[in-house]
Amino acid sequence: MIDDSADSERPLAELVDEIHEELSATEERPVEREASRWIGEAQAVAGDATDLAATEGSADVVRERVGHVADLLDNVETTGDADADERVERARELAERVGESQ
Locate the domains of the chain by residue range: 33-102
Work out the average pLDDT over 93-97. Answer: 96
- For the four alpha carbons of 102, 94, 48 and 18, in that order, the dihedral sign comes to positive
Q: For residue range 67-88, what is the model confidence (pLDDT) as tens digits? A: 999 999 999 999 999 999 999 9
Chain mean position to CA 10: 15
Average pLDDT, the chain: 92
pLDDT on residue 100: 86
Task: Give the global pTM.
Answer: 0.90
Q: For residue range 17-29, what is the model confidence (pLDDT) as tens digits? A: 999 999 999 999 9
- Contact criterion met (CB below 8 Å) for 94 and 18: yes
Distances (CA, A) of 99 to 10, 30, 37, 78: 14, 29, 23, 23
